[in-house]
Structure formats: structure tokens, C-alpha cells
Amino acid sequence: MLYPIDTATRTRIDLSGIWQAVFDWEDKGLKEKWFENPPAGRDIAVPASWNDQFQDWAAHNHVGTVWYYRDLYVPEDWIGGKNVFVRVGSAMYHATVWVNGKLMCEHEGGYMPFECEVSSALNRQGGNLLVVRVNNTLSDKTCPQGNLDPSLGGIAAWRVGNFPNVHYDFFHYGGIHRPVVLYSTGKTYIDDITVKTAIKGASGTIRFETVVSGKGAEKLEVTVEGRTVETALRGQAGSGSVVIKNCVFWCPETPRLYDARFRLYGKGGKLLDEYTLPVGVRTVEVSGKSILLNGKPVYLKGFGRHEDLHVIGKGLSLPWLVKDFSIMKWINANSFRTSHYPYAEEVMRMADRWGFLVIDESSANSLSFAVKDMSRTLAVHRREIRELYQRDKNHPSVIMWSVSNESETNKEQSVPYFKTIRDDLRKLDDTRPITIVVCVGQHGEKTASMFDVVCYNQYPGWYSHYGRVEKVAANVAEHVRSTYELFGKPIIYTEFGADAISGMHADIPEMWTEEYQKEIIRVIIEALRKCDCVVGEQVWNFADFKTGQHTHRIVYNHKGVFTRDRKPKMAAHYLRDAWSAEGARWGIPFEYGFPQERRQ
């Protein structure tokens, strides 16, 4: 599925704006056929979560169905001679689309785009009614799971009584979270493009495969940097390669993108379709204790993050997107993980342009394998992996796939489950490493050996060794040593840190203060950098984020080194130094341990 853009043969209309919404408190809309004639609604902004747009408790905490609708006007020259698509960037969690009362498509999964070809349902004159039914209810059979029975124990009992009832540690939003776009193509068009790149000396090679939909296409031209190659189509497919001499290889320091222009021609040289794809020429592989980008070792410095903002919730905001990338550049980060779900396509395109290395993670967050029948969750997970690959396969910023975060990988049932997911992904993509993010004790971990890189979440000084900063370095060093001995894979610390309430200070670092957070992060980073098998440090979290209501959280998870509105805490200034070219200059402001321990 190609990202919608404007070209000589394609036109898009952004449907973002004010829609109407009806909260279906009794879930009766389907029975009453609201898709044909929805009741009077209230104004709602799209894209955005529904939870924080209104001043009533019920809407804020709603888990269930909301009906979105709006009028849709289509240019007259689209009718009859064009294919017309409605494309939804994402909707949490299950969505169904109707046009003029006709069912167009439905989709399960809260973070992937989906689209329907709607030409047959459009009126030739006048407006059209577009209706999207969204339901954010989770169960033990969805991906991610929710509303688990805490008597199952383990992950299911992590946050008993959490409101809304999810066991994971971020707020369960609902809504249309990414743009809804109306776009057109010709009747014969380029349906898909796959590019893979290779490096030889100073030259870069772009290999491409295309899939064509419709009839009458005869040839495909691909132009990069003034060089054009022509390929004949075999059925509905075409393939070939373009070589770029003196190529500037894509990396964080030089995120060079080459525009590859694809043109599809029919009889008599008629242009049927045109699409431009930005391509970064780079290679990535795991070798020994290293991750190699373009044949050279790379060390990841950055964050776990969340799509989470005041009022907007998980909705895409382009100004905030620019702000966040500007902050990450300011702090000298070079990477982030899409924790704990795929982020908006606009995020990935920004990462390509700005030169960030991305661990691209599925929404299989905190899966409980105490659930007796995981077959449906597995089916949804497998479909999302295919969708994620199809959406993000051409992004040079995506250097690694992550299949899950903090699932019960100490259970035997997790082994065949994640072997299936890994094998599916390996068949799709042989150019990127695959990882899984784990947190169980390394001696009970059963899945890490199946993957190329071990990503570990560990919180010494916060969930253990409370207040004992002097214990943290040795704990991290021993954990890394034993993890490498067990699995023999490069290690990335994908989560570590501590909560800090902005403005809370102490002259001797104590838990919840900015000083304590900074010290925990500093001590862990210094310990990690002494281990040659560690290839990355990603602090949890970039910014404070909203969680469910529970006594363990004060409205937010406060592990952000920035506040939710992006004000820096002390740790942010430390990281800016630690991730600079010169390295940390803060020194060691405190001595840890008791006097007799120091004398020894």
C-alpha cells in the first residue's frame, strides 16, 4: 500500500477537520442502521482521540463504539474515469467504513492504515455520506490484549483495577488517530513498489519490484538522478535496478534521499500512472557484537517514545511532530523505538529525512500466554506484521523490526508463537535484523536466542534497589555479562530510567526528584559503555505520557526526560552532553556507598 501523494496522475484530498460523532453508549447503531442515517452528532476533530476533546466523564473514559460521519464531495472528473479510494491512517481498534449506506471495508488493528475503493458507491451529483464506525474494545483475543482476567496471574495481574482496564502502562485511547484521505488513480496504476539497496565501493544500487493493477500497461520507466531505466512488464509485475555512482549513502550524519520516479505507460506511450518514492541507499546487518550500517559499527542513542499529547491523545499533529524531531536533534539522539506500536507514516517519513535509526515495533505489547487459546491473537499479530512490512519496507530509517515488547517470554507457549512471527517476517524481509524486547530474568527468557539482537528493558534503581544508586552499575554490568553469555547476541538497552516529577529537587538524589532520575540514567549509561556487546542505549522515556488511573501512577508515567508539554528536566541536559561528539562532561557529582565500602 503506497503512501498517498499528488502526482501528474494522482490527486488526494485530505479529509482532516471537524466531523460529527455519535457515542453509541448502548451499541445499537448497527441494529438501527446508523450507517444509512446517523443520529445528530457532536463536533469532533479528526485526527485525534475522542477521550479529551469533551468536558464529560463518559466520553473521556469511553470504551466501546463511536460513529464518525461527514459529507464527502468528489471532483466531477473523478466519477467514472478514476479509481477513488478512502484511506484511513489508523483507527483504534476496529473500524468499518460505509459510503452512502454501502459497506466498503472493515479493519481490525489500531495502528495500521487501510483503504477501500469506493467508486461504485459515489453519487454522480451532489454530496456523499461517509460513515466510519470505530470500536476500541480489547479482549484476550485481540492484539494488543485488554480486559484480561487478573486471576490468570503474570502480566494479566500487573495493574489490577487499572481504569480503563488494560494491563499495559499507557492510556487506552480510542478514535481515528491518523489522517483520512480521499485519493484517485487511473484505472491502471502502480499498486505497490518494493525497493532494496546495495553498496559496492562508492556506488549504490537500487533494486525495485513493482506490482500493477488494471489492464493495458506495457512498460515501466524508473528515473533516479537523471538516469532512466526501462523495463517491460511481465503480467502485472516489473523489476529492475538503477546504479548511482559516487552515491551518498544514507546514515544519521548524511540522510540523503534520492527521488525514484516511477512512470507506467500504455499503448502509444500514454502515461497511465506516476509515483515518486524517496529512497535512501544503505545496508544494515548484524556481525559479531556489532550492528553495521553501511558496513560500519553504529551505536544507538535515543529513546522509547509514545504518541501522546494533551487534548489530541494519540492523534497525529504535524507541528508537534516537527517539534519532537527538533528536540531529538537538540539532544543529539540518533534513534528511537516505536514503542509499543507502529507510529504514523508521517513519523517514518520524517525519520527518513532527519536521519533517525528506527526500531519498528508491532502492537503485540505485553502478551499474556496464560490465555488458553492464543490462535486468534496470533492471526491478528501475523496480519499486522505483514501490514507493517508492506507499509514500512521502503523506509531507510527502519533498521530493525521488533515483534513484541515485554510479553511473557518465560512461558513455553511463547516459543512456537514467536517462532511463527519471526519466520513470517524473515520470509518477507531478508535485509533487516529482527528483535524482540524482553524484560523477564535472562535465565528464564526463552525466546531471545531466536532473534538477531537482544533488546532488554531493565529498571535498577526504580523497580529494584530503591534509592540505592550505588548498587546500579554493578547490577547492570552483571546483567549484561550474563545475558551475552546466554545468547551471544548484541544487546540494546531499550528501556531504563526513573520517574521524576518536574520541579521536584533534592541536594542528595532521592526517588521522584530530577536529580535522582539524572543520576540513574548517568550511572546506567556509564556502565553500558564499558560493555563491548552493548550497541545501544534508549532511555525510557522521551516525554511524560498519560496512563490509566491507578495508585502506581500520578496521572502520567513521569519517566520522560521532558514533560508532556516538552519542557526539559535535568536528565535532558545530561543526555545532550552524554550524546554529544565529546561525550559526557558532567563528571560525577556524588559519591555512592558507605564510608567503609569506599575504604575497602
Query: Which residues are identified as catalytic?
Result: 406, 495
Cβ 184 vs Cβ 54: under 8 Å: no
Q: How far apart are CA 248 and CA 232, in angstroms?
A: 29
Residue 537 vs residues 19, 309, 438, 522, 531: alpha-carbon distances, Å: 42, 24, 15, 11, 12
Task: For residues 231 and 219, give the distance between their C-alpha atoms in angstroms, rounded to a whole number.
Answer: 6
* CA 515 – CA 509 distance, rounded (Å): 5
3 state DSSP class of 144: coil
User: Rounded distance, CA 132 to CA 89, Å?
Assistant: 13
Contact 454, 483 (CB under 8 A): yes
* Cross-strand partners of 276: 261
State CA 237 to chain mean position distance.
29
- Using a 10 angstrom Cβ sphere, with 0-12 exposed, 13-18 middle and 19 or more buried, the burial of residue 100 is middle
Packing angle between helix 514-528 and helix 570-578, nearest 10 degrees?
20
Helix residue spans in 62-178 (DSSP H) = none
Query: Residue 200 burial (CB < 10 Å; 0-12/13-18/19+)?
Result: exposed
